[in-house]
Structure 1
Amino acid sequence: MSTTHPGGEPAAATKQLVIERILRDRDGVWQQIVDEQELRPLVRQMVVSSALSLALYGAVLGASYGWQQILSSLVKLPLLFLVTLAICLPTLYLFNLVFGARLSMLQAVALILVSITVTAALTLAFAPVSLFFLVTAQSYEFYKLLNVAILLLCAVVGLRFLVSGMQALNDHQQRLAPAAAPAPARAAAPPAAVPAQAVPQAVAVPAGSTPATAPTQVVAAPAVPAVNGMPDRPPLYVGPPAHYGRPPGPAGQRPASMSLLYIWILLFGFVGTQLAWTLRPFFGDPGQPFGVFRELGGTFYADLLRTVGRLLGG
């Protein structure tokens, strides 16, 4: 018996790489996350895919120094992204709870992992470019800046997927809102149409006749047209004006704030860059002996500016 996934694609089609599915069928991935169907296998696949891709790219970063730095960076680059996820995940989850969005912890993990998986796959795609400049440029400062720019570009593209996924979740909640909105209160049903035979008859009295002797002429009152047994009159609705605007969603369910998501993305970037500075070196400074970690001090941004100054100063 074959099964079908939320995106409408058969289970056999999910044999493709998870990154390929994200890029080819992102709407199906968003629907799977919205429906919370088979999220745990999806999360496992994304963790494995992103860890392998980042490990291979970390080995490329360390190739400028030696095999010890290759092994160190191979472990530290996946650790950098996954630890940043663990640090920033509670903030994203609580932001959504505070503003009423029903985003479960597993859905939040899946959304962020989609972003990290895309970032990791793109960095791996840039690995041949990085190796090419490692061989041809022979400049530590240039090599470091090149790879920082590659990681920054890939992270920006990956975070756009996070924004797209959150927007898909919001659209799903807004589609559910009209169905869950309370129906406006209706006034008591007006009486049914009165048959023409039961309408009181009007008597026409000719001039010079008395009511007792005058002939009578029955004039039937016009019947009120009825539609489905009810008179054709505009129905009366009772309710506050808010019911006639945008339909309210289910109680306690509102779209996630996209503005807060952008703030969270900035937080994610600051935490990631500072954690990268804490876990350094990734490249290995040719002027210093090998070390798994360096002493704490300074910031990532100050070191980046110093590197640019040394590169431009020759």
Structure 2
Amino acid sequence: MANPTGSSLLVIERLLRDRDGIWRQIIEERDLKQLTVQMLTSSALSLALYGAVLGASNGPLQAVSSFVKLPLLFLATLAICLPTLYLFNLVFGAKLSVLQALTLIMVTITVTAVLTLAFAPISLFFLITAQSYPFFKLLNVAILVLTALVGLRFLTAGMTALNDHQLKVASRPPALPPAVELPADKPAAAKENGAVLTAPAPVKRLSDIGGRPGELPPGERPASMTLLYIWILLFGFVGTQLAWTLRPFFGSPDKPFQLFRSIGGTFYADILQTIGRLIGG
């Protein structure tokens, strides 16, 4: 029988073609370790190759450095932010496991990474033809932002699918116990052949405990989408600051190779300065 999760190289095709199947697999917690390893392999390779294109603006040493640092950036950001997402989930009573949370975020990173790699030929084309370091830098920042936004749409879609499943399960009527048929002229409790026949106790519905149909019982709530959006902002801030700490990824052509630079300034200030230099000529 064929492997349902596919190979590492083809996992991105499954993510794009069979999203509902991926969400079902995460909901059922089926083969998540295998799926996560495949996505990790695919995303690390894609980011490494794109990192080599970024570093090519400064030469072979910078290309090798960025080949290692770009996947490290994404995976380190994941390691820093995953506990926060899981704790948010616990505080608000949702039932998202650590492995489910990890798989959801790896879907985001994998989609981002492979789409970024798809832009590599365009980035390389402008590196060769434009001969403008500020333009090359802003172009690739824009590519990373665009692909990250697409990847985050997968994260929100996955969380929405998990929430819908949780609500659907909660709205299902519970199975009724087997009924005991009593003659119409007998009371609810009657003796026949020495045995006591009792009418089944009424089944508690969600409305009996203060809820409405389609709602979860107290203490069993879906993940908060508002908190997810807050976490996404946190992930973005951590990622950009970590990128600034691990710089350079591009490497200015007029400067010697550096593995790391001294910590100072911010990512956002540097982008504004780059825009200013590009506009000012």
Contact 1:181–1:249 (Cα < 8 Å) also in 2: no
Q: Confirm or deny that 1:301 pairs with 2:268.
A: yes
Number of equivalenced pairs: 261
Percent identity of paired positions between Structure 1 and Structure 2? 67
- In the TM superposition, residue 38 of structure 1 has moved relative to its aligned partner by 0.6
Q: State the shift of 1:289 in Å.
A: 1.6
The 1:173–1:239 alpha-carbon spacing in structure 2 relative to 1, beyond 3 Å, is closer
Compare 294-303 and 242-251 and name the one that shifted more: 242-251
1:273 aligns with 2:245: no
Q: Quote the residue 1:224 is aligned against.
A: none
**2:278: which partner in 1?**
311
Partner of 1:86: 79
Structure 1 unaligned regions, length at least 5: 3-9, 184-188, 195-234
Residue 258 of structure 2 corresponds to: 291
The SS at the match of 1:14 is coil
- Root mean square deviation of aligned Cα: 2.6
| Pair 1:239–1:303, CA change in 2 (3 A) | closer
* TM-score relative to the length of structure 1: 0.77
Contact 2:206 2:217 in 1 (8 A): no
Q: Give the 4+ runs in structure 1 shifted more than 6 A.
A: 180-183, 237-242
- Give the alignment's TM-score, normalised by structure 2: 0.86
8 Å contact kept, 1:180–1:250: no
Q: What amino acid maps onto 2:37 in structure 1?
A: R
* Equivalences for residues 5-154 of structure 1 within 5 A: 11=3, 14-15=6-7, 17-154=10-147
Pick the structure with greater CA Rg.
Answer: 1
For residues 128-176 of structure 1, what are the alpha-carbon distances to aligned partners after superposition, in whole Å with 9 as ceiling and x for unaligned?
0001101110000000000000000000000100000101110111111
Report 1:194-205 matches (<5 A). none
Take 1:21 and 1:88, find their aligned partners in 2: how far apart are those partners? 26
Aligned position for 2:198: none
| Alpha-carbon offset, residue 246 of structure 1 | 2.8
C-alpha distance in structure 2 between counterparts of 1:82 and 1:62, whole Å:
19
1:199 paired residue number:
none
Letter in 1 for 2:32: L
Structure 2 counterpart SS, 1:64: coil
